[in-house]
Amino acid sequence: MRNIRQFIKYVIVGLINTAIYYGIYYFMLKLGFSYTISLTVGTIVGIINSYFWNKYFTFRTKKITVSETVKFIIVYGVQYLSNLFIIYLCVEYVGISEELAGIAAIGVGTFIGYFGHKFWSFREISSEKR
């Protein structure tokens, strides 16, 4: 039951984070920035937002450690690279618009993020019984 609640919290944080990320991504595209720059800025803002919400709300860790922070950034790095790859494939090879390609990448990133953070970034705390 705790894992289900934790996943629901992760989804709630993810929806908020996705709205922030995609809002920045879309807005920057409309201002004429490339999808690479738009994705990068949206991801950086998303990382900051997500770190604090997932740390204190979803996985409920208390101390900030260097190890946890580095792991969190690495998971987001993998997520960013997978998103960039999906957007690139969608735009350059499939012919999907940059706006829709950004949405397509969100699903894969969600799974990478949840499992990476649950089983690696916040592993010690999230595996304890409460």
Q: What digits encode the pLDDT tens for the residues 15-57? A: 898 899 899 999 999 999 999 999 999 989 988 998 888 888 8
Q: Is 49 helix (H, G, I), strand (E, B) or coil?
A: helix
Q: Which pTM value belongs to this model? A: 0.76
Number of domains in the chain: 1
Q: What is the residue range of 66's domain?
A: 2-126
* pLDDT, tens only, 73-130: 999 899 999 999 999 999 999 999 999 999 989 888 888 988 898 888 877 544 444 4
pLDDT of residue 7: 84
User: How many residues are present in the chain?
Assistant: 130
Taking a C-beta distance cutoff of 8 angstroms, is the pair 35, 98 a contact? yes
